[in-house]
Amino acid sequence: MRYLILSDIHANREALSAVLAFVRRKPWDKVVFLGDLVGYGANPNQTVDMMRALRPLVAIRGNHDKVCSGIEDGELFNRVALQAAMWTRGKLTPSNLKWLRSLPEGPMVVDGAFAVSHGTPIDEDAYIFGEIEALNVFRQTNFPVCFFGHSHFPVIFGLSPDAITTVLTVAPSFRFRLRPGARYLINPGSIGQPRDGNPLASFAIYDSDSQAVTIHRIPYRVEQAQERILRAGLPRPLADRLALGR
């Protein structure tokens, strides 16, 4: 089975459109979404509509989905994120608001084969930035493979019996073969707001038969996404960061 692993789209319609156009030429079977469909970007309804049309096998909520849909009040958000979340809450159609509110909390197990979480499988709002956080998650869970989001950069943490390793991907397309006996925590990166200094949209395809994960970086019309943010009256830093990838 080939899974499209999508995360942190953040209402960036241009980025999601570019990813979907790219995968039209790729074989894939099912969509799995790791949370943060909205928040920051200027096209929340269009991105929710696009995700709903993909009929994801599993879609879990992110912290921005919770605040934008009114499940949480965003007291831990910074000023810019909160402003964008309140703007988004006012723009979402009743149907899309209801759909977002119905997204389950991670972790969830997909096809009995792998797990997905937004932040970590222990705390949906916590971050995995480095090996210490990854090691703590490996120790407190027993999933052989877990895909996560929230930190907005693609990374593969592998735990073998004697060491933890980190693979940070920089190539436009990076293929990684999972080794038998090792465990993995994998972030496919962010589609709508990458933060690794690379503005290209990031996502993964996981082939569970060949045990290969490919992380793709896709160019999209960044200027158009920025223009929409500014025209919507959203804070300028949200537009500026898209070109910088941070």
Contact footprint for Fe ion (CB under 5 A): 8, 36
Give the end-to-end CA distance of the chain in Å, rounded to a whole number: 33
CA angle 98, 102, 107 (to 5 degrees): 155
* Smallest gap from residue 193 Cβ to Fe ion (A): 7
**Measured CA distances, 34 to 69, 97, 109, 117 (Å):** 16, 18, 12, 6
* Smallest gap from residue 189 Cβ to Fe ion (A): 11
* Smallest gap from residue 150 Cβ to Fe ion (A): 6
* CB nearer Fe ion, residue 183 or residue 187: 187
Q: For helices 44-54 and 94-101, what crossing angle results, to 10°?
A: 60
**Would you give the DSSP letter of residue 60?**
-
* CB nearer Fe ion, residue 40 or residue 99: 40
Q: For helices 222-231 and 13-23, what crossing angle results, to 10°?
A: 150
* Smallest gap from residue 79 Cβ to Fe ion (A): 17
* CB nearer Fe ion, residue 8 or residue 207: 8
* CB nearer Fe ion, residue 14 or residue 36: 36
* Smallest gap from residue 12 Cβ to Fe ion (A): 11
Q: Which helix (H) or strand (E) holds 152?
A: none
Chain CA centroid to CA 48, Å: 14
Q: Which of 216, 203, 202, 211 is nearest to 245 (CA)?
A: 202
* Smallest gap from residue 11 Cβ to Fe ion (A): 11
* CB nearer Fe ion, residue 36 or residue 124: 36
Instruction: Give DSSP secondary structure letters for 49-64.
Output: HHHHHH--SEE---HH
* CB nearer Fe ion, residue 8 or residue 14: 8
